[in-house]
Amino acid sequence: MAEPHVPHPDLPPPASAVGALGWLRRNLFSSPLNIALTALALYLLVTLIPPLLRWALLDATWSGEDRAACRVNSGACWTFIRVHFDQFLYGFYPEAQRWRVNAVVLFLIFGAVPLFLRSVPDSLKLRWGLGLLLAFPVVAFLLLRGGLGLPVVDTSSWGGLLLTLVIAGVGMTAALPLGVLLALGRRSDMPAIQTLCVTFIEFWRGVPLITVLFMSSVMLPLFLPAGMNFDKLLRALIGVTLFQAAYMAEVVRGGLQAIPKGQIEAAAALGLGYWKSMLLIVLPQALKLVIPGIVNTFIALFKDTSLVLIIGLFDLMNIVHNATTNPEWLGFSTEGYVFAAAVYWLFCFGMSRYSQKLEKRLHTGHKR
């Protein structure tokens, strides 16, 4: 007769592997080198943090309306930021019309709420998102630019964070679909389309964004017929979009290459045509794979918007720079740039965190 098998009981892990002490030992004091690095890091923190805190918070000035207020304390003069805050947000957008900018932001926030609710089913989210994607640009353009009874605010007076967000937002929403099309074109069976896409991608990747912006604002008008002069912002938007689309195309192509041929064959065998099999089968998987790359491109784009200062657009960076050269507020460029850096960081970090959450949520179990 066979002996019954008694399963080995599950034992708790040894104490040194768990708990706070275990964590400390493993991560901070596991070897002489690790101990030395821990000590060095502690030393740096101790020497750097207190003066930074003193400058930014303890000895800083917040009140007052002019630079005289900042003579007393030795720390940062946040008064400079406070006084210019609205300008940093809206640029030279007329004060009486700034509610329109706020309305656009509110429209976007409330419009986007359903997209972030867990209780809304994905299919509805998709339709809602597409609707928002179509409706938002129209509403935003009408509100920001004017018309239909609203006084027109010329794009030359748009500025600050508003302008940064407009360039980044348009750049992202236009560059992604364009990049997807370019990536699909580059993998097309049709030689003409393939050549066209490769040429486009390699051209735009081969020139610096600064050159693109210069060309769009200085050289393009030379080629256009006299009298035909379109908006400087529009030209910058087109330049930024085409430039980023080329990068996006390569990111997306990486994702397309990772999709096994069997997926396309299975879709084809079910009778799905090219576009349906791309839209329903290949792209959802490919884009999910390259979320980190897409967000990386978005973040680069967000920061690259600051280059429009060289063609005389007053985005966040340029408007802060402009304020620091104001004779009444000379000497506060550190505060200005720290503020600008903090705003850029906030947005970029936000995008990064959101992408990580998205990646986790879209994970559907291990693949074969």
CB closer to another protein, 38 vs 285: 285
| CB 296 to another protein: min, Å | 22
CB closer to another protein, 108 vs 291: 291
CB closer to another protein, 191 vs 225: 191
Rounded Cα gap, residues 177 and 156, in angstroms: 28
Rounded Cα gap, residues 70 and 88, in angstroms: 20
| CB 274 to another protein: min, Å | 8
Cα torsion angle, 230, 234, 240, 243, sign: negative
CB closer to another protein, 26 vs 276: 276
- 311-340 residues labelled b (16+ CB within 10 A) or e (exposed): bebbbbbbbbbbbbeeeebeebeebbebbb
| CB 280 to another protein: min, Å | 6
| CB 260 to another protein: min, Å | 8
Rounded Cα gap, residues 127 and 135, in angstroms: 12
Rounded Cα gap, residues 196 and 202, in angstroms: 10
CA distance between the termini of the chain: 42
CB closer to another protein, 12 vs 271: 271
Task: Using CB under 8 A, list all residues that contact another protein.
Answer: 260, 262-263, 265-273, 276, 280-281, 284-285, 288, 362, 364-368
Rounded Cα gap, residues 58 and 56, in angstroms: 7
CB closer to another protein, 108 vs 272: 272
Helices (DSSP H) in the chain: which residue ranges?
A: 19-27, 32-53, 78-90, 98-116, 122-145, 160-186, 191-206, 209-214, 220-223, 232-258, 261-269, 274-276, 283-289, 291-304, 316-324, 333-362
CB closer to another protein, 9 vs 273: 273
- 65-91 residues labelled b (16+ CB within 10 A) or e (exposed): eebebbeeeebbbbbbbebbeebbbbb
| CB 95 to another protein: min, Å | 49
Q: Are 35 and 29 in contact (CB under 8 A)?
A: yes
| CB 191 to another protein: min, Å | 17
| CB 177 to another protein: min, Å | 19
CB closer to another protein, 165 vs 267: 267
| CB 188 to another protein: min, Å | 14
